Homo-oligomer: A and B are copies of this chain.
Amino acid sequence: MDDFELACKGLYRALAIREKYMRLAFQRFPNTASEFLRNIEGEKWKPENQIQPVFTSPPEPGEDPFNTKTLPPNPGYVARMHEGVVFFHTKTYTHRRLKFLMSKFNVHEMLNEMEEMKELKNNPHRDFYNCRKVDTHIHAAACMNQKHLLRFIKRSYRVDANRVVYSMKGKEMTMKELFESLKLHPYDLTVDSLDVHAGRQTFQRFDKFNAKYNPVGASELRDLYLKTENHIGGEYFATIIKEVAGDLEDAKYQYAEPRLSIYGCNSNEWTKLSSWFNKHRVFSANLKWMIQVPRIYDIFRARNFVPHFGKMLENIFLPVFQATIDPQSNPELAVFLKHVTGFDSVDDESKHSGHMFSTKSPKPDEWDIVKNPSYTYYIYYMYANIAVLNQLRRERGLNTFLFRPHCGEAGAVTHLLACFMTADNISHGLNLKKSPVLQYLYFLAQIPIAMSPLSNNSLFLEYNKNPLLEFHKKGLVVSLSTDDPMQFHYTKEPLMEEYAIAAQVFKLSTCDMCEIAKNSVLQSGLSHEEKVHFLGTNYLKEGPEGNDIRKTNVAQIRMAYRYETLCYEFSLIKEGVKGD
């Protein structure tokens, strides 16, 4: 009984910390959890206190998404830069709770599966095919499938063989000359020689996987086709992305959140990226943009591109602050930022850094060694900047950003701890398998997890060992995403392929699939207006009240089960906390 109370107090503290951090950064914390926390504290929960992120509304019919005239004026602000860690004990309690949650779902399934199906059968017009689903985690540079890229390369050669598309050591080259220098002819290219698909060779080899981004192993072709900055101003890359967007628009019910990179190596990266975005008008109602920041300070420092880590952070964030304070100083960036919905932190999590982040750690400006800071260090400083940025943007009536890092794909479980305190939602989360405490906390705080079992299957974990089904049964909020269709998928509809395989291997019911699709919409950066349209007016309410089966095709029985189960776990914690 002592153990029970100790565990509940720890869980209470952890949740209170996440709640505070989420509020600060305009990220999300579920009402159900807030209500219980206030209840434990003997306070009254006020629904008006809840915080929601703000995403740019979709353009009105006829409205130009690239319009710079509606950007707000400069109020005359100036911009600058901040730390955090916690720990906790006793795994037994959370392990027991998770086992219970699993068994409880199995019983629910056995008792109510047919009833859930009956609800869905009686729900007219709506089935899994016309439920909205968002590909919550996808990298722009690999958002087309391998066959699409191959066709694009061949087509570009037929049209543009004599166009200057590349410059090597100052010498300009036509596409024909470029391919000749690589001893290739696009006509002969096949999916095999293109060699961008992950295979058995990439398993547990992130380095080999990363090399797959180079078509035919040639970084020149990656530059030409998959980059925003190159001799042709990223024209091909923009065209490919717009083709992918066109497919999503045709499919009508599918959305995607592609990641574009900001490296922090140079202060003009944002200007270049937003200029590419505006020039090629890379806008689609079915795409919501994310910025990914690779954790590769060590590479830039070794080449003397940056003097210290602080400079990298400055390159990443200061331009965004400036364009927020005075949008007209960089209208293209200010417009681009309206369509950005969040930040991702990316790289191989299995790499070690050895540094333990604490109050004694060097400040970013003091971090001038070549060694890379730890995952936690990166996460903290990204969170802190996003939190301040969101406060500013909210005040200015602008859209806010979510922090949605890759987390728990590999490496230490501390990554998942850092993100529990800082991230609105995460990608992967596989390592929650290894920590019952964190897994239970991610359940309690209902932190969305974008899972990509096909990606994991090629990199870190075999498909049938993927914890997606287990997490879903226990009530963690999981969505399905493709990560890199170029490397992992075979068909023309990668997101449907991802759902189809999960449905088959895990034997998901229609209700399971629609619940996962619903989770993906909630997790995403789709605007309030779109979420109302896709999920119903009450979508922000938790439990069955917030579910409109006519839109989601998720059974009310399922929603009631989820809500009651979550509330029961909270009431146990309350009992434990009050025990003393």
Q: Which residues of A approach B to under 8 Å, CB–CB?
A: 113, 117, 120-129, 147, 187-193, 195, 199-200, 454, 457, 463-464, 488-493, 496-497, 499-501, 503-505, 507, 509-510, 553
22 contacts between A and B (CB under 8 A): A113-B200, A121-B190, A121-B193, A123-B190, A123-B192, A124-B189, A124-B190, A126-B190, A127-B190, A128-B192, A129-B147, A199-B509, A199-B510, A457-B505, A457-B507, A463-B505, A489-B500, A490-B496, A490-B499, A490-B500, A490-B503, A501-B501
Closest B residue to A503 by beta carbon equals B490
Closest B residue to A189 by beta carbon equals B124
Question: A120, B188: Cβ atoms under 8 Å?
Answer: no
Instruction: Say how far A518's CB is from chain B's closest CB, in angstroms.
Output: 15
Q: Knowing A454-B504, A501-B504, A504-B463 are in contact, say whether A188-B490 is a contact too (CB < 8 A).
A: no
Measured CA separation A303–B117 after assembly (Å) = 36
Please name all residues of chain B whose beta carbon is closer than 8 Å to the beta carbon of A457 when the two chains form the complex.
504-505, 507
Question: B120, A192: Cβ atoms under 8 Å?
Answer: yes
Question: B504, A121: Cβ atoms under 8 Å?
Answer: no
Please name all residues of chain B whose beta carbon is closer than 8 Å to the beta carbon of A123 when the two chains form the complex.
190, 192
Please name all residues of chain B whose beta carbon is closer than 8 Å to the beta carbon of A127 when the two chains form the complex.
190-192
Q: Knowing A125-B188, A190-B125 are in contact, say whether A500-B491 is a contact too (CB < 8 A).
A: yes
Question: B501, A491: Cβ atoms under 8 Å?
Answer: no
Question: Out of B187, B192, B500, B505, which one reaches A505, CB within 8 Å?
Answer: B505
Please name all residues of chain B whose beta carbon is closer than 8 Å to the beta carbon of A125 when the two chains form the complex.
187-188, 190
Measured CA separation A493–B145 after assembly (Å) = 15
Closest B residue to A130 by beta carbon equals B190
Question: Out of B122, B491, B510, which one reaches A491, CB within 8 Å?
Answer: B491
Please name all residues of chain B whose beta carbon is closer than 8 Å to the beta carbon of A510 when the two chains form the complex.
191-192, 199
Measured CA separation A123–B188 after assembly (Å) = 8
From DSSP, what is the main secondary structure of chain A's interface residues?
Answer: helix
Measured CA separation A504–B505 after assembly (Å) = 11
Q: How many copies does the complex hold?
A: 2
Measured CA separation A66–B511 after assembly (Å) = 47
Measured CA separation A491–B502 after assembly (Å) = 13
Q: Which residue of A195, A490, A492 has the most chain B CB atoms within 10 A of its CB atom?
A: A490
Please name all residues of chain B whose beta carbon is closer than 8 Å to the beta carbon of A120 when the two chains form the complex.
190, 192
Closest B residue to A507 by beta carbon equals B200
Q: Knowing A121-B195, A463-B505, A501-B500 are in contact, say whether A492-B493 is a contact too (CB < 8 A).
A: yes
Measured CA separation A532–B496 after assembly (Å) = 35
Question: A497, B505: Cβ atoms under 8 Å?
Answer: no
Closest B residue to A120 by beta carbon equals B192
Question: B553, A192: Cβ atoms under 8 Å?
Answer: yes
Question: A122, B463: Cβ atoms under 8 Å?
Answer: no
Closest B residue to A117 by beta carbon equals B192
Question: B192, A464: Cβ atoms under 8 Å?
Answer: no
Please name all residues of chain B whose beta carbon is closer than 8 Å to the beta carbon of A187 when the two chains form the complex.
124-125
Measured CA separation A503–B124 after assembly (Å) = 36
Question: Out of B113, B193, B500, which one reaches A497, CB within 8 Å?
Answer: B500
Please name all residues of chain B whose beta carbon is closer than 8 Å to the beta carbon of A147 when the two chains form the complex.
129
Measured CA separation A440–B120 after assembly (Å) = 48
Measured CA separation A437–B236 after assembly (Å) = 58
Measured CA separation A191–B129 after assembly (Å) = 8
Measured CA separation A454–B199 after assembly (Å) = 22
Measured CA separation A121–B195 after assembly (Å) = 8
Measured CA separation A168–B530 after assembly (Å) = 48
Please name all residues of chain B whose beta carbon is closer than 8 Å to the beta carbon of A500 when the two chains form the complex.
489-491, 497, 501
Contacts A121-B195, A463-B464, A497-B500 known; 19 new A-B pairs at CB < 8 A: A120-B192, A123-B190, A124-B190, A126-B190, A127-B190, A127-B192, A129-B191, A192-B553, A199-B509, A457-B505, A463-B504, A490-B499, A490-B500, A491-B493, A491-B496, A497-B497, A501-B501, A501-B504, A501-B505
Question: A121, B509: Cβ atoms under 8 Å?
Answer: no
Instruction: Say how far A208's CB is from chain B's closest CB, in angstroms.
Output: 12
Please name all residues of chain B whose beta carbon is closer than 8 Å to the beta carbon of A464 when the two chains form the complex.
463-464, 505
Measured CA separation A191–B454 after assembly (Å) = 26
Measured CA separation A389–B392 after assembly (Å) = 85
Please name all residues of chain B whose beta carbon is closer than 8 Å to the beta carbon of A504 when the two chains form the complex.
454, 457, 463, 488, 501
Closest B residue to A199 by beta carbon equals B509
Please name all residues of chain B whose beta carbon is closer than 8 Å to the beta carbon of A463 when the two chains form the complex.
464, 504-505
Please name all residues of chain B whose beta carbon is closer than 8 Å to the beta carbon of A121 when the two chains form the complex.
190, 192-193, 195
Measured CA separation A492–B491 after assembly (Å) = 9
Closest B residue to A118 by beta carbon equals B192
Please name all residues of chain B whose beta carbon is closer than 8 Å to the beta carbon of A129 when the two chains form the complex.
147, 191
Please name all residues of chain B whose beta carbon is closer than 8 Å to the beta carbon of A497 when the two chains form the complex.
491, 497, 500
Instruction: Say how far A129's CB is from chain B's closest CB, in angstroms.
Output: 6
Measured CA separation A553–B190 after assembly (Å) = 11
